[in-house]
Structure 1
Amino acid sequence: MAFGLMPCFPSGRPCWHPLLFLALEAILTSISGSCPSVCECSSQDSTVLCSHRHLTSVPGQIPPESQLLDLSKNRIKALNQGMFSHLKALKELDLSENVISKIEPGTFRHLQNLMTLRLKNNKLKLVPAGVFSGLPNLTFLDISDNDIVILLDHSFKDLFNLRNLEAGDNQLVFVSHRAFGSLHNLQQLTLEKCNLTSVPAHALSHLHHLVEFRFRRLNISIIHNYSFKRLNHLKVLEIDQWPFLDTLEPNSLFGVNLTALTLTRCNLSSVPYEALQHLIYLTHLDLSYNPISVIQSRRLSVLLRLQELHLSGGRLVSIASGALQGLVYFRLLNVSKNLLMTLEEEVFHTLETLEILRLDGNPLSCDCRILWLIYRRDMINFDGQQPACATPAPLEGMAFEDFPEEIPADYFTCQKPVIYDKLLKQLIADEGEKIFFTCKGEGNPPPTISWLSPQNDLLDVNTNGRIRVLADGTLEIYYARPKDSGRYLCIAHNAAGNDTLLAELEVISKFSDTFTSTPFLTVVSQPSRRAPDAALKPFTLNMWVMAVVLAMGFLPFLSAVIICFIFIFCLSLSRGNIKHNAQIEYVRRKPYPPIEELENEDNKFTMKLM
């Protein structure tokens, strides 16, 4: 209540002193409420600050018009009904860092205007059903860093307007299927540092309006198909510090329309291409701190809207040409702190959109493959972290910005690969043997070894199957088959060129010793494995074996023909004895006519056979 000064009387009597009116106003204000002696109150901001005051219970005499009550960092053990019944104007209540282990249902029933409730870092082990009833306007709830083991059905009953739930850093082992049943408008959820062994897909399926989900510090090893089903509005998914996560099933992210995905500090040895193929709206992808070694060519092209790719702190040794092909909006690549020796220009679909490139922390080999980047160093932003050369020795430690504008002729050079053992390799093997063809080349940079099969299939270290290329360039054929016969071409290639080596293989079938050629058919065999320089010798098929084979096929046919002729012959002999009519005797059953007449009657009839 505010009072003004009264005007002076015309008679000249003195006016009331202003201090009397101020004292009266203070008295009237004290009638409406007072401040606890251990707290600090501000009537202007409607706040009551009781933090860090060694309180064991909620103090009394809190002004009812208070909108913010801070009771954090005290020793409050329990919350009972009626504690906050007179604080109907309260909008924010902070009970963090106490020792609260029990909350009676109905404790917050009268706080109709409460919007923020903090219960972080207490001793709660269970959230009883309906404990938060009576909070129709609550939008933020923090129950993180407690000892909660299980979230029961209806733990968050009546929190229809809750937007943000912090439930991480608990001992959670199970989330009931209807634990989030009432959170129809929840937009942000954080679950971290708990003991869940799988994604609680059924519980999450009730959060139809969830936009951001942060899932950190868990020991889950696999994300199963449809783990995030019905989260149609989910845009941001953060999975961080899952040290055992090594598998995302192909449909694990099916049904969500993410724009930002984080899979960091996990155990992914490769980019989960199949799980990512559904995320056509993805713009930001972070796979940092995973043991990923290769980004394959054209496998990310389905992410048409991708703008940023972070893969820092991994084991990346290669980014294939065309790895970012088709990404027309791509603007940032962060592959810092990896094992990259080079980054070729062909990796990118176009360099017109690229704005930021992080290459620092890699053992870069400054040869002809990376010269393009030196020429464009003024156009590309390295985000304040200049890349530096690791090899060759004269350029070791030299940052890109330190090179002169005119590059000396002996800088950034490459040497064409050379295969020193160029003799034709010939090998004859029996079916079932394991075959090895070696191929080694030298060059600068070290060449990549690949093989071309007789069917013109390109084989390299990424090829899996019975025929593969080992890390040292050796071609391995496990359990050789006759169809593997032919010429194999070894190709050693780098940025400066390539060199080739030819190898021939003949695989002899296990049944080839039984069938040999006729005298008029001559087959030339390859040199023996044990005597590669021996002369080529013709060999012939055995005619006696051919005669036996023909006889074995002719005799059954001849026997069948003879049996048929005998059967037809016997049938034709019996045709003359066939009778076409037959007489049959019969006996009458009736007693009349007289016996004399019956004796004279011929009891026979004739039947014609058809």
Structure 2
Amino acid sequence: MFVESAVRWWVWSILLQFGLGVSAGGCPSRCTCRPEAREAVCSGKYLTSVPEGVSNDARRLDLSRNRIKTVGRRQFSGLLQLQELDLSDNVISMIEVEAFLGLRNLRTLRIKNNRLKILPVGVFSGLSSLRYVDLSQNEILVFLDYTFKEMLNLQRLETGENDLVFISQRAFFGLQNLQELNLDRSNLTSIPTEALSQLQSLVQLRMIRLTISALPNNAFRRLHRLRSLVISNWPTLDSIAANSLIGLNLTSLVISSCNLSSIPYAALRHLVYLRFLDLSYNPITVIQGNLLGDLLRLQELHLAGSSLLQIEPGAFRGLSFFRMLNVTSNQLTTLEESAFHSVGNLQVLRLDGNPLACDCRLLWVVRRRLRLNFDGHQPTCSSPDTVKHREFREFSEKELPKLFTCRPARVLDRRPQEARVEEGTTVLFSCKVDGDPLPVITWISSQKTVISTSGRIRVLQNGTLEVRFAQVQDSGTYQCLAGNAAGNDSLTVGLYVKGLPRNRSVPLFTEEGWVEPSTAQAANSSAQMAKPYPFDAKTLIIATTMGFLSFLSSVAICFVFMFFWSQSKGQIKHTATIDFVPRSSVGGGGGDGGDGGRFTMKLI
């Protein structure tokens, strides 16, 4: 009874499949068809053209990994139910216009890894239901205007690993519902701003391995719905304009593996909705204090594999939602608690791969070692020698106060320093300090301003204050502040500058440096004596010559003009005869007195 039922079921299945095959139009000879799934799989069958005989009700057709070279016009016109078509991994170099016409239900189209160089306008005609297109790994050079204009419902477009050098301004016209675009590994040298501005529904934009060196202002205008932007592996990108990201409402931003030497604070300040920021693998050396506060919703910052030497106090101040910091594989020696808005909110911290100095500055991290998530990578001490190579989890609570210690900053020489000098004198004030970690020295002027390392009044590398060519207005008290994580110390010095009498000289600053006024006046006097006239002989000769040449040119032009004018008047007589009556002699009146005369003139 069981055998009979099994045989009957087998016969029924064969008849059912045969019936479906007949009604649907059959299956190509080299393909494998599954009527119950309504799919035809012709992958890897060495086909050189699109096979005939595919079932009319097929929903999926796989033609990948064959040797198809051309897709002709209306090649799939009978497959009205087709929803997925895969032409990947062939040698297709040409797709004719309206090749996919009739596939009104097609949702997915893959043409990955072929030899396409150009997409004719109209090649995607009739694909109004398409949702996903993969054109990656071809040789496409340019996207022409209106290439995708009929793909009204397209949501995702993959165009990576092509030879793209140009995207026309209206290439993406019609993609009003596109949400994700990938422009990876192309030859673009600038942001296709005008083309991207057509994609006003775009949510994700990814651009990897490009040769663009700068992000200009308004690079992504009109992309108000963009939430995720990925810029990665642009080795020449070293400049981001302050308004390059203006108008965007990003929640995720990646600018990694580029050539940024500092965090682009000005460009980031507009991104008040940003939650995820990744600036890893850039030569950034410092995270400055109080410059990220505008990123109110920031939760994660990744700056791995960079050149970080310091995270300043207040670096994350104002970031009340901050949850994760990843600064693995940098050059940090410490991370102070004062960098954070609230360490109680911090959940994940990646500090591994840094030469950490395990002293009092890192005590707050070690005490939270059981609550903090190090993402499976324990931080390790690099100094001092007593704890070198030890992981944070190895320390017991009892030994922490003894090992993680600091010596407060201390000014070594506290003897009073007071300088009373005449104007023009150079003065040095020393400030030698001690402490662990090494204290930071800051000098405050008598006007309560911080003195920099450049200028006439400056702080030298060893912490000494130098006042060059002291002036009367430099008089006052100066304060040396020494501070580290364990404490602060200070030293006050005095400077009193006496003005010189008027008959004595005070050094002046010129382009050549500091010089005595008498020297400058002597130089000016000698220069004036050497040049009593405003112009030298050479200048006068040149001016005279130029004037004479201008005069001769004007005369020559006049003669030429007169010559051509005279030629236009016809034949010219070269002689003229003039009759005249000479005056009578003195006292003469009329009468018979005198005969007339005549003379001839020759015209030159």
Shift of 1:449: 2.1
The partner residue of 2:143 within 140, 151, 155 is 151
Name the CA distance, whole Å, in 2 between partners of 1:319 and 1:161. Answer: 47
The partner residue of 1:262 within 246, 254, 268 is 254
CA shift digits 1:436-484 (9 cap, x unpaired): 76655332111212221222112467xx877665665455779987655
Pick closer, same or farther for the CA change 1:356–1:465 going to 2, 3 Å: farther
TM-score of the two chains, using structure 1 as the length reference: 0.76
Shift of 1:194: 1.2
Residue 215 (str. 1) matches residue 207 (str. 2) = yes
Kindly indicate whether the alpha-carbon contact (under 8 Å) linking 1:47 and 1:68 is maintained by their aligned counterparts in 2. yes
The aligned residue for residue 80 of structure 2 is 88
1:524-535 aligned within 5 A: none
Shift of 1:25: 4.8
Which stretch of structure 1 is more off in the superposition, 142-151 or 106-115? 142-151
The partner residue of 1:309 within 301, 304, 329 is 301
The partner residue of 1:497 within 487, 492, 509 is 487
Kindly indicate whether the alpha-carbon contact (under 8 Å) linking 1:429 and 1:505 is maintained by their aligned counterparts in 2. no
Shift of 1:30: 3.8
Name the CA distance, whole Å, in 2 between partners of 1:361 and 1:107. Answer: 55
Residue 102 (str. 1) matches residue 86 (str. 2) = no
Shift of 1:233: 0.4
Name the CA distance, whole Å, in 2 between partners of 1:168 and 1:18. Answer: 50
Kindly indicate whether the alpha-carbon contact (under 8 Å) linking 2:406 and 2:485 is maintained by their aligned counterparts in 1. yes
Name the CA distance, whole Å, in 2 between partners of 1:390 and 1:192. Answer: 40
Equivalent residue letter for 2:136: S
CA shift digits 1:317-350 (9 cap, x unpaired): 2111111111111111111111111111111111
Name the CA distance, whole Å, in 2 between partners of 1:21 and 1:366. Answer: 77
1:344-363 aligned within 5 A: 344-363=336-355
Name the CA distance, whole Å, in 1 between partners of 2:427 and 2:460. Answer: 12
TM-score of the two chains, using structure 2 as the length reference: 0.76
Pick closer, same or farther for the CA change 1:22–1:95 going to 2, 3 Å: closer
1:500-511 aligned within 5 A: 500-502=490-492
CA shift digits 1:134-162 (9 cap, x unpaired): 10000101111111111111111201100
Equivalent residue letter for 1:85: S
The aligned residue for residue 161 of structure 1 is 153
Kindly indicate whether the alpha-carbon contact (under 8 Å) linking 1:486 and 1:504 is maintained by their aligned counterparts in 2. yes
Kindly indicate whether the alpha-carbon contact (under 8 Å) linking 2:21 and 2:27 is maintained by their aligned counterparts in 1. no
The partner residue of 1:196 within 171, 188, 191 is 188
Kindly, what percent of the aligned residue pairs are identical?
A: 49
The aligned residue for residue 377 of structure 1 is 369
Shift of 1:40: 1.4
The partner residue of 1:45 within 32, 37, 47 is 37
Kindly indicate whether the alpha-carbon contact (under 8 Å) linking 2:39 and 2:58 is maintained by their aligned counterparts in 1. yes
Name the CA distance, whole Å, in 2 between partners of 1:489 and 1:472. Answer: 16
Over the aligned positions, Cα root-mean-square deviation in angstroms equals: 3.0
Shift of 1:500: 3.8
Equivalent residue letter for 1:31: V
Shift of 1:67: 1.0
1:47-196 aligned within 5 A: 47-196=39-188
Residue 330 (str. 1) matches residue 309 (str. 2) = no
Name the CA distance, whole Å, in 2 between partners of 1:137 and 1:320. Answer: 53
Shift of 1:186: 0.5
SS in structure 1 opposite 2:230? Answer: strand
Kindly indicate whether the alpha-carbon contact (under 8 Å) linking 2:423 and 2:469 is maintained by their aligned counterparts in 1. no
Pick closer, same or farther for the CA change 1:494–1:161 going to 2, 3 Å: same
The partner residue of 2:406 within 399, 414, 419 is 414
The aligned residue for residue 608 of structure 1 is none
Pick closer, same or farther for the CA change 1:499–1:30 going to 2, 3 Å: closer
Name the CA distance, whole Å, in 1 between partners of 2:422 and 2:218. Answer: 50
Pick closer, same or farther for the CA change 1:488–1:124 going to 2, 3 Å: farther
Pick closer, same or farther for the CA change 1:440–1:106 going to 2, 3 Å: farther
Shift of 1:206: 0.8
Shift of 1:422: 5.4
Which stretch of structure 1 is more off in the superposition, 474-483 or 121-130? 474-483
Pick closer, same or farther for the CA change 1:17–1:145 going to 2, 3 Å: closer
SS in structure 1 opposite 2:163? Answer: coil
Equivalent residue letter for 1:496: A
Residue 395 (str. 1) matches residue 387 (str. 2) = yes
Name the CA distance, whole Å, in 1 between partners of 2:264 and 2:201. Answer: 26
Kindly indicate whether the alpha-carbon contact (under 8 Å) linking 1:425 and 1:502 is maintained by their aligned counterparts in 2. no
Kindly indicate whether the alpha-carbon contact (under 8 Å) linking 1:449 and 1:460 is maintained by their aligned counterparts in 2. no
Q: Which runs of 5+ in 2 are unaligned?
A: 507-604
Name the count of aligned residue pairs.
499
1:462-473 aligned within 5 A: 469=459, 473=463
SS in structure 2 opposite 1:192? Answer: coil
Name the CA distance, whole Å, in 2 between partners of 1:458 and 1:30. Answer: 87
The aligned residue for residue 244 of structure 1 is 236
CA shift digits 1:483-514 (9 cap, x unpaired): 555443332221222344555667899xx664
| 4+ runs deviating over 2 angstroms | 16-32, 407-410, 416-431, 433-443, 458-461, 464-492, 496-509, 512-517
Shift of 1:126: 1.1
Pick closer, same or farther for the CA change 1:116–1:471 going to 2, 3 Å: farther
The aligned residue for residue 31 of structure 1 is 22
SS in structure 2 opposite 1:371? Answer: helix
Shift of 1:228: 0.7
The aligned residue for residue 449 of structure 1 is 441
Kindly indicate whether the alpha-carbon contact (under 8 Å) linking 2:17 and 2:35 is maintained by their aligned counterparts in 1. no
The aligned residue for residue 360 of structure 2 is 368
Equivalent residue letter for 1:366: C
